[in-house]
Amino acid sequence: MAHPRIQWWDWVEFVSLGGMVHSIQRTMSVFGRGITSSLFLLAVSALLVGCGGDSGGEGAEVEATPEPVRTVSFVNEVAPILITHCGPCHIAEAKGDLSFANYSILMQGTLANGAVILPGFADRSSLVTLVDEGEMPKKGGPLSASEKSKLRIWVDEGAFFDGADQGFGLEGLTGMEVPVLPAE
Ligand code: HEC
């Protein structure tokens, strides 16, 4: 009558087997999640490294950009124009608190209005615009078209200094002398 086919040890076996399967499943899923997140991190870092590599490449390209074009020389072309047309008021004197005594002072502009040269931007440099509009030189006649365009190009090209010492007086730099303004 009794069919003791399932004994208590059978239950133990059954339960522990179930527990084992369960813990294997858990381990797998934890492991799986670990793998997934590791892969995710790996992908993200690969992406980041990739970007870094790319920007490094771009940086290298920027560094490889050739020198900017410089067709107008400050020492040979711009300084002589400033000495001849502006020297009486802005080298021999500092009319309007503006001195072209040397390159570094020229680049300082005036206390009140600041720089008169914005390297790369002739249209925003009063040294160029006032000359173009005929406001400067205040006396002594306007600059020729070629002189005006040299000033403009020099500023647009970055207003670079091609001498040895930016503090060296323009007269010494060029071997020229500031003319005396003709008496009125
Ligand atoms: C006869 C004297 C005289 C000559 C020459 C002269 N300037 Fe001036 N400049 C002045 C005076 C004075 C001022 C002050 C503002 C004014 O009175 O218009 C001035 C002001 C300026 C300013 C404006 C400064 C500021 O406040 O931002 C610029 C730029 C300038 N001169 C450039 C030149 C240039 C470039 C030349 C030569 C091409 C030149 N000047 C020749 C007398 C002169």
Say if 41 falls within a structural domain: yes
User: 80 CB under 6 A from ligand 1?
Assistant: no
User: Does residue 93 share a domain with residue 45?
Assistant: no
Q: Is the CB of 137 under 6 A from ligand 1?
A: yes
Question: Six-digit token pair at 139?
Answer: 């006396």
Q: Which of 6-15, 16-25, 60-69 is predicted most confidently? A: 60-69
Query: Which domain does 116 fall in, by range?
Result: 74-174
pLDDT in tens, 45-64: 555 555 444 444 455 566 77
Nearest to 161, CA basis, from 102, 111, 121: 102
Question: What pLDDT, on the 0 to 100 scale, is given for residue 67?
Answer: 76
Does residue 37 surpass a pLDDT of 60?
no
Looking at the CA of residue 116, tell me the nearest atom of ligand 1: 29
Regarding whether 78 and 13 lie in a shared domain, the answer is no
Q: Write the residue with the smallest CA distance to atom 15 of ligand 1.
A: 96
Domain total for the chain? Answer: 2
Q: What six digits make up the tokens of 85?
A: 């047309």
pLDDT digit string, tens, across residues 73-96: 999 999 999 999 999 999 999 999
What DSSP designation does 163 have?
Answer: S
**113 pocket-lining for ligand 1 (C-beta < 6 Å):** yes
Q: Burial, 73: exposed, middle or buried (Cβ in 10 Å; 0-12, 13-18, 19+)? A: middle
Whether residue 30 has pLDDT greater than 90: no
Ligand 1 pocket member 142 (CB < 6 A): no
Q: For the whole model, what pTM was predicted? A: 0.71
| 35 confidence band (pLDDT: 50, 70, 90) | very low
Judge whether 2 lies within some domain.
no
The answer to whether residues 103 and 157 belong to one domain is yes
Q: Does ligand 1 have an atom closer than 6 angstroms to the CB of 150?
A: no
Which atom of ligand 1 is found nearest the CA of 143?
A: 38
Same domain assignment for residues 16 and 85: no
Residues 126 and 45 grouped into a single domain: no
Which residue's CA is the closest to the ligand 1 atom numbered 29? Answer: 127
Say yes or no: 45 and 95 in one domain: no
pLDDT tens digits for range 128-181: 999 999 999 999 989 999 999 999 999 999 999 999 999 999 999 999 999 998
Indicate whether 141 belongs to any domain.
yes
* Rounded-to-integer distance, Cα 86 and Cα 95, Å: 10
88 lines ligand 1 (CB under 6 A): yes
Q: Which atom of ligand 1 is nearest to the CA of 96?
A: 14
